[in-house]
Structure 1
Amino acid sequence: MRILIVEDEIGISNFVKQGLEEESFVVDTAEDGNQGLILALSNDYDLLLLDWMLPGLSGIEICRQFRKENSSTPIIFLTAKDTVQETIFGLQSGANDYIKKPFHFEELLERIRVQLRSTPSVPEKLSIGNIVLDVNAHQVYKGDEEIFLTKKEFALLEYLIRNKNKVCRRTRIIESVWDIHFEYNTGVIDVYINALRNKLKLSEAENYIQTVRGIGYIAKEL
């Protein structure tokens, strides 16, 4: 599950981000409304956490503009505003829930879980060649054989298959799978690619994961 936090108070943002990552969520953050809206519209998030008062666009403006493009992704407001009128205004703008600052992380986590449970879960299976990846069950099969992958191996394979027949640059892989948004030694990708190829027992005739020299990798149907 991937969550976007739009919050200009760095202490709160880092606190929530760390807590959610410990619960196995992938978390992106933005410190102003303009950046938050760009991220919200250009990525697939399972839930948005929006501060109300932000530099640039307010949380209300982000919510309204986002709802024009996306009517289903849950939105929770994090804010010090707590009057009945303000709560109603936030909900009418498109938010699903509302939590007042200061808050306990455990309460926020449960509110997030409630929203994600209420989002319909659609069975999703991705495939390339004779390899099938069951996203919901977190299982991978090659033919009738189940292949056991680590979380990062699974996430890497899922990313490559979702972008099947497209060249995946190393920087994009690091950002999407490892959630690292700064210069980083992308050599770690090579280690995981090799592990994937070995676990999937890919023969020369099953070269589904190909290296694009100097750029990255591509998952390709043969």
Structure 2
Amino acid sequence: MLSISGLHTYYGAVHALKGVDLEVGEGEIVALIGANGAGKSTLLMTICGNPRPRHGTVLLSGKNIVGVPTHELVRLGLAHSPEGRRIFPRMTVVENLQMGAVAADPAHFNDDLERVFTLFPRLKERRDQRGGTLSGGEQQMLAIGRALMSRPRLLLLDEPSLGLAPLVVKQIFSIIQEINQRDKVTVLLVEQNAYHALKLAHRGYVLVNGKITMTGRGTDLLADEQIRAAYLEGGHG
């Protein structure tokens, strides 16, 4: 579904991504792990068109989407739940979800709203509450729900567990698995929580200083001594 080849991205003179190659097959959950500053969020933002890569290709279902406007990417089935949630704090839960549905067929809105409320019952309870008054976990649920309202085929998730309590993290990862298995949404997951990400993922990639250094099945990476030392036992990669 997603094929990235030779991707180079810069911030001015800073070379952030250095020839990244990455594949996400239809129906997969693929995890991208790495330390702070490795370029994980930059990769997701580059896929979405901001910043644009200086070199390389990004194919979505065989179509090169480099240079395609972001709103057109949504219509092609791509959705992004960014790091830090970035919900609209003064809008209610329902209004935030309406924003996510702007590019979708209005005829499906009520069904999609109920689908999100089924995944996240807490959001249904707070449907008329302003986003800024929700807890961190509820805001993360809202960010994911908003992305789902566009009916994506490929969902990019950036640090969905960041800053959340362990019980909430477990719930979020369970919902990601349900989205993938029940709703057949393909997922590219960026996570610092390597244990949860690799345990969930079909395959994983390790990004170090803008370069992919290792790839394999999630379970194989989880068992790898280098990965355990760098990301699972207090190391920093």
TM-score by length of 2: 0.24
TM-score by length of 1: 0.25
With a CA cutoff of 8 Å and minimum separation of 6, indicate the structure with the bigger relative contact order: 2
